[in-house]
């Protein structure tokens, strides 16, 4: 699966986001090492701290379905933003725990352009289990 196909899945799933407060839907699609795609959306809550991002929803779904640390191959994140929409710091930290540092991260914007990064690039000096 190429980055455009993965991004299309992220764009498509964001319609299922539950965003009554921010009106800011986000979709994420993780390509797993077995080439299955696991998607997620952001789910808001009136107690804003209970809100969950699309990236974490997808990662937690993958883990609940039996995937393990290291089974994540790439991720596409889609939102309707002028600039490229990166994962938040909490999602980056969860990615640092579950994903390889060289995992491709595809970001898009409202124009449909795709920017490619690695986890290491968007989270330099990550706090990992190696630091424990």
Binding annotation: 53, 88, 91
Tokens 């009106």 found at = 23
Torsions phi, psi for 16 (to 5 deg): -90, 0
Q: Which of 55, 65, 82, 97 is catalytic?
A: 55
Indicate the burial class of 64 (C-beta count within 10 angstroms; 0-12, 13-18, 19 or more): exposed
55 is known as an active-site residue = yes
Residues placed in the known binding site for Zn(2+): 53, 88, 91
Catalytic residues: 55
């Amino acid at each position: 699966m190429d980055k455009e196909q993965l991004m299309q899945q992220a764009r498509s799933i964001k319609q299922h986001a539950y965003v009554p407060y921010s009106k800011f839907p986000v979709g994420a699609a993780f390509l797993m090492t077995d080439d299955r795609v696991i998607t997620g959306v952001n789910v808001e809550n009136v107690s804003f701290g209970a809100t969950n991002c699309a990236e974490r929803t997808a990662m937690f779904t993958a883990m609940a379905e039996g995937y393990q640390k290291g089974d994540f191959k790439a991720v596409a994140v889609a939102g309707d933003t002028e600039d490229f929409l990166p994962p938040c710091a909490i999602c980056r930290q969860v990615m640092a725990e579950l994903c390889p540092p060289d995992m491709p991260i595809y970001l898009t914007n409202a124009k449909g352009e795709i920017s490619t990064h690695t986890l290491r690039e968007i989270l330099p000096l990550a706090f990992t289990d190696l630091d424990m």
